[in-house]
A = this chain, B = another copy of it.
Amino acid sequence: MNETPGADSFAELKRRQQVTDPHSEVVHFPASEGLPLDSGAVLAPFSVAYQTYGTLNADKSNLVLVCHALTGDQHVANPHPVTGKPGWWETMVGPGKPIDTDRYFVLCPNVIGGCMGSTGPSSLNPVTGRPYGPDFPVITLRDMVRAQARLLDHLGVEQALSVIGGSMGGMQVLEWAATYKDRVFSAIPIACAARHSSQNIAFHEVGRQAVMADPDWCGGHYLEEGKNPRKGLAVARMAAHITYLSDRALHTKFGRNLQDREEVTFGFDADFQVESYLRHQGMSFVDRFDANSYLYITRAMDYFDLAADHGGVLANAFAGTKTRFCLISFTSDWLFPTEESREVVHALNAVAANVSFVEIESNKGHDAFLLHEPELFDTVRGFLSAAARRRGLDDASTGS
């Protein structure tokens, strides 16, 4: 309603702030302790929201840092404050789980650029007192990792027992291992790559264009305008979601099954189950995610190219590493095919790193890292236990 733009703006902003104010711990770094970014800008002040599970032991040696994926957040193993759904990795993290919170202290921060409490484009710009929107600086995965390192400093943790994550989380793991060699005792990059491929950039660009094509995006100023580019963001999510599954998974799950009907309707309703499923994925996503965060985080992934950052030679990124690596890929993942993990393994081999690599047979596509995959659980549990033993931890010395 044009008569009361302010009221609408603030109503929307309030709704947003509920989303961006989950029940997480938040560390606020003051303007004097800003975050230098790869772009040359400085993000100041900035905040990092995070969840923890388990107990940090006396010598602070049992921390497992979980890095979340593009549309994930810090709510790894508790009900999500917005959706009420279980945490995104409850199969992996918890008492007696592969990442056993009886033994390890698990930390998951929301990435900067995100919308769940860490500073991002929906945060207030201290210069204007309005949401950053499109004035938020473009960030990189290294910037995200740099913010996480600051969080570890704040918690007084010098070295993580392990850094683990899938997809964009896995890319952050690689960035951690490259940038903070002494702070990563072991690393578990899952379903990822050392650079974002041309095809992946292409899919991201489609998503961004879908958001920006929505007039309710308002040039990025939708919060101030009291609007929300729901339709555009839903289309972006739908396109991306297809890439998270495999052709086989879609065939098995939906095939050409019709949705609650015997015959096609000769219309544009969701005749097929797969259409209904995708529409639901799109619409439920926009309730919990900020459109500008989607733009900024996809951009950060596109920019990721670890070899380019190290003179064009991927092995250089890992020169001198003492980190123990365990890479995991899935056979049906066409977003981050096994071949791309293998390239990282070759680079690690070239610097004589301690590395193991498991390609898991799965027809679930990229999303396999989030799903019930016993071989994934066994691999993580085993590797992590071995790392803990090597680190000098036993059951008595951990947090339980």
Q: Given A199-B247, A272-B201, answer yes or no on A303-B264 (Cβ-Cβ < 8 Å).
A: yes
Chain B residue contacts of A199, Cβ below 8 A: 242, 245, 247, 250-251
- Judging by beta carbons under 8 Å apart, are B305 and A268 in contact? no
Q: A209 at interface (Cβ–Cβ under 8 A)?
A: yes
| Copies in the assembly, this chain | 2
Residue of B nearest to A273 (CB): B198
- Judging by beta carbons under 8 Å apart, are A209 and B197 in contact? no
Residue of B nearest to A302 (CB): B272
Q: A72 at interface (Cβ–Cβ under 8 A)?
A: no
- Judging by beta carbons under 8 Å apart, are A198 and B251 in contact? yes
Q: A95 at interface (Cβ–Cβ under 8 A)?
A: no
Q: A205 at interface (Cβ–Cβ under 8 A)?
A: yes
- Judging by beta carbons under 8 Å apart, are A231 and B213 in contact? yes
Q: Given A209-B235, A235-B235, A238-B209, answer yes or no on A198-B254 (Cβ-Cβ < 8 Å).
A: yes
Chain B residue contacts of A203, Cβ below 8 A: 239, 242
- Judging by beta carbons under 8 Å apart, are B239 and A299 in contact? no
Q: A202 at interface (Cβ–Cβ under 8 A)?
A: yes
Q: A372 at interface (Cβ–Cβ under 8 A)?
A: no
Instruction: Give complex CA distance A138, B263 in Å.
Output: 14
Specify the main secondary structure of chain A where it touches its partner: helix
- Judging by beta carbons under 8 Å apart, are B205 and A275 in contact? yes
Instruction: Give complex CA distance A374, B272 in Å.
Output: 39
Residue of B nearest to A198 (CB): B250
Q: Given A214-B213, A242-B206, A256-B305, answer yes or no on A201-B275 (Cβ-Cβ < 8 Å).
A: yes
Give chain A interface residues in 248-283, CB to chain B under 8 Å.
Answer: 250-251, 253-256, 264, 266-268, 270-272, 274-275, 278-279, 282
Residue of B nearest to A229 (CB): B213
Chain B residue contacts of A191, Cβ below 8 A: none
- Judging by beta carbons under 8 Å apart, are B208 and A232 in contact? no
- Judging by beta carbons under 8 Å apart, are B209 and A234 in contact? yes
Q: A215 at interface (Cβ–Cβ under 8 A)?
A: yes
Chain B residue contacts of A34, Cβ below 8 A: none
Chain B residue contacts of A274, Cβ below 8 A: 198, 201-202, 205
Q: A89 at interface (Cβ–Cβ under 8 A)?
A: no
User: Nearest chain B CB to A262's CB is how many angstroms away?
Assistant: 12
Interface centre among A137, A205, A214, A308 (most CB of B within 10 A): A205
Q: A10 at interface (Cβ–Cβ under 8 A)?
A: no
- Judging by beta carbons under 8 Å apart, are A201 and B266 in contact? no
- Judging by beta carbons under 8 Å apart, are A250 and B202 in contact? yes
Instruction: Give complex CA distance A198, B130 in Å.
Output: 44
Chain B residue contacts of A234, Cβ below 8 A: 209, 213
Find A242's partner among B196, B202, B251, B268 (CB 8 Å cutoff). B202
- Judging by beta carbons under 8 Å apart, are A247 and B201 in contact? no
Instruction: Give complex CA distance A255, B199 in Å.
Output: 9
Q: A195 at interface (Cβ–Cβ under 8 A)?
A: yes
Q: A314 at interface (Cβ–Cβ under 8 A)?
A: no
Q: Given A209-B235, A242-B203, A274-B205, answer yes or no on A138-B267 (Cβ-Cβ < 8 Å).
A: yes
Find A206's partner among B209, B235, B251, B264 (CB 8 Å cutoff). B235
Instruction: Give complex CA distance A232, B250 in Å.
Output: 25
Residue of B nearest to A305 (CB): B256
Residue of B nearest to A265 (CB): B138
User: Nearest chain B CB to A243's CB is how many angstroms away?
Assistant: 9
Give chain A interface residues in 285-320, CB to chain B under 8 Å.
Answer: 295, 299, 302-303, 305, 308
Q: A210 at interface (Cβ–Cβ under 8 A)?
A: yes
Instruction: Give complex CA distance A201, B201 in Å.
Output: 22
Find A197's partner among B239, B245, B247 (CB 8 Å cutoff). B247
- Judging by beta carbons under 8 Å apart, are A206 and B268 in contact? no
The 4 closest A-B pairs by CB, nearest first: A213-B231, A39-B266, A138-B266, A198-B250
List 7 contacting pairs A-B, 8 Å CB cutoff, sorted by A.
A137-B266, A138-B266, A202-B250, A212-B268, A213-B234, A213-B235, A268-B295
